[in-house]
Structure 1
């Protein structure tokens, strides 16, 4: 096998991460109705997922460059499969379903965290394609979006066919993707990691202003992407009054398709587009999309804001990786791992903040309740206030990227 096969395995690795990150939120309405899990505790599951991924990133940063890529990649696929199987089994067998959900999500999150640290540096270490490394990185990350769209469409259709009472079959079916990729992974060649004597040390990275800016940019990129992605389905169903099928399709599915299209487009034409100005434009568009989703009185217009946000955030995560890789070409897996830590931190904090703000705005008094009264009706869910709070993340992206572009 050639490095082209390695690249395809990495593509499927991001599909696996999309399954890990997006399957459980699509089942939030099932968990809420069948297990009586409140909104704030659903937000904790999102926080748990990305919190465990963050801890996994921290550990992986210290070991991957020393042990190589293959072993940790194999482990990532094994625990991803195990977590999905446990998601099907534990909530219906343990006396406390929420405990079962938490255990399963934590296990699969280890796989997601390892994939986040490993896949990007593997592709970055492969021979550079003709369209350049930044474009190739964007194309790689588009497969996360295609995986997310596939999970949304497949899960929505299967829930309709199987009935919600058989929801536990879905994690078992989705576990086949990482299982098959694991078999192929065992055979493909792997690039070498950056040797210690040639690698830019973590201390050096952390001591530079450019890398500090990249870390904050990554934090806000993760928050801007995941806040809208994770809550768009429930926002559409409870806040805008559409059915679950249309909520999933019009919310996270179209979001993922727009995000994938943006990344794939940059993968094709990225060599002609300056990266920093593109990030400024993406941050500005994401700010507008958040405001439209939260403030528009028309449900269709709000859904359009949710969906177009996928295009707006498409370049934020891979673009930050590419900026850092260009500035620190010998950063190795540790550099990608540190950035992944901050991206996952944003992916954990952003949705949790939106959920907590939404929950607080439903109380009988307080400033957030007053804000909720000023916004269009969302069925009492408070999610419009939560999304309005999330606008701070793309604003910070826009500011940081504009400073980067001005240098």
Structure 2
């Protein structure tokens, strides 16, 4: 009878050992991420819709603009008529209202989260293990980032990467500084999780007319779940600081609340990152018109060319050490496997978490 019990214990031990060593049970294997979403780029087609909008006159008289924080009123319309701030159409404008992103429409986007699972700010995958964001963001109590999600919360589709280190641009000296740029180093992952976005080589901003700003919960209210959203804005130079640019929203018929309650996310043009959004606009305008100019300032952006050399050096150093290539946006992540594998450098300290249940089971068997 004792031999039967011993044999039974040995059989149970072998089965448990096999399951414990299976790749699907280790800490480096994440939950399956299924993507039934149609990737037909319908969202992109909508954003390319020509708004054909332009201000007829670029008068320097700031009194011709509306109050950015107010809705359109008959009094303001009359003022617009009297001061000739009437909008006219222009072709191929990228300006559009706040829209919700589709799953994997922007596969480089990252939601940066705190220890308390609170959303802090947006970021962009620029290399495997590097998230680009603002310096103000990296100073917050960041704990992990979420990839492969259109919501700033953990769910079945989200892939969670823990933060290993963070770094600010060397000359950053506070929230009002022009180089409000930071990077977050995370665990690496395979190329099925995310794509990276290419850094633009654009240095002549005069060639820029419009761009899109991305973030989570651009017009969300307090305590609402923050969805991944984007908006098309008009570029205007920042006269006070030549190495910054601003994005304005104007001359678009919309009843979607217009504001930008996020920062750290990308400004993109022609599928490339032209800058990082260092600040947005908390005050929403509930309704806007294509008849009269409102000139609502939404975002302030740090152009890519002001920090590209520094970032390229960081990326090269990391990729030379442990290269795991990613697709470059607009290419989507390669494949959609049943498991997502993550890579961390071994620390050599303590037991892996997946080994703990195994040790407990062994001790239990011995005690029987």
- Relative contact order: is structure 1 or structure 2 higher (C-alpha 8 Å, sep ≥ 6)? 1
- Say whether the fold is shared (TM-score over 0.5): no
> Which TM-score band applies after superposition, normalised by the shorter structure?
under 0.3
| Structure with higher strand content | 2
| Structure with higher helix content | 1
TM-score (norm 1): 0.21
Please identify the structure whose Cα radius of gyration is greater. Answer: 2
TM-score (norm 2): 0.22
